[in-house]
Amino acid sequence: MTMARPRTFDKDDALEQILHMIWENGSIGLSLDDIGKKLKLSKTSLYSAFGNKGALLQQCFELYEQQYEQPMLASFQGESLHDCVTNFLDFSSRRFASLDTPPGCFMFNCSVEHTSLPEVFRVKVEQANLNFKQALKYKVMALEHHADIGDTDKLVDMLLVNLFGLASASRMNLPINNNYLSLLNLP
């Protein structure tokens, strides 16, 4: 009986690298062979660690939600609606301007690839986008007793449009800084 060789790579580090590859280039046309070559790993090692491409996409998706989306949602906090919006947009601006991650947004990129994704993953992306929007809406609604927000849905949509704009600007290498946030302080 032969024993399997122990894994010689860090699975978490490899998953982060794979997430960044898919984030930057999309998943269309990206095979496990391509990933293996880039990471200098065999296809067998990738299958053993992550499963098939669908399972790998799922793990990247979960990592993205945990490391990038949840902190973004958590940034929507403060004493007032103004503080919450400012903190959220400031965090988002810094996140999209960061050189530590590929430009754009993994979830936005997945949405663009919508019809090319496996059905199960496509549904998961759509649901995650709805969940993000709903979580943001709940955060805004929790502040309604502090301020007259008016139309919560319009405010949430405006925040999401800002996120999409920041993601697009980072993909286009446009300068992103939070100087525009000073506009929130206009009388």
Residue 184's pLDDT is what?
Answer: 61
pLDDT at 143 over 60: yes
Query: In the chain, what are the domains?
Result: 53-185 (1.10.357)
Question: Could you tell me the pLDDT band of residue 65, with boundaries at 50, 70 and 90?
Answer: very high
Residue 149's pLDDT is what?
Answer: 62
By percentage, how much of the chain surpasses pLDDT 70? Answer: 86
Residue 77's pLDDT is what?
Answer: 93
Mean pLDDT of 151-167: 88
The closest alpha carbon to 27, from 57, 55, 52, belongs to 57
Contact partners, residue 148, CB within 8 Å, separation at least 6:
none
Mean pLDDT of 164-173: 85
pTM value? 0.81
Question: Could you tell me the pLDDT band of residue 91, with boundaries at 50, 70 and 90?
Answer: very high
- Return the C-alpha torsion angle 19, 25, 27, 32, nearest 10: -70
Residue 29's pLDDT is what?
Answer: 75
Instruction: Round to whole Å and give the CA distance between 123 and 126.
Output: 5
Question: Could you tell me the pLDDT band of residue 121, with boundaries at 50, 70 and 90?
Answer: confident
Residue 18's pLDDT is what?
Answer: 92
Q: Are 137 and 152 in contact (CB under 8 A)?
A: yes
Mean pLDDT of 147-168: 82
pLDDT at 82 over 70: yes
Please give the full DSSP string across 110-170, using - where no structure is assigned: HHHTGGGS-HHHHHHHHHHHHHHHHHHHHHHHHHTTTS----HHHHHHHHHHHHHHHHHHH
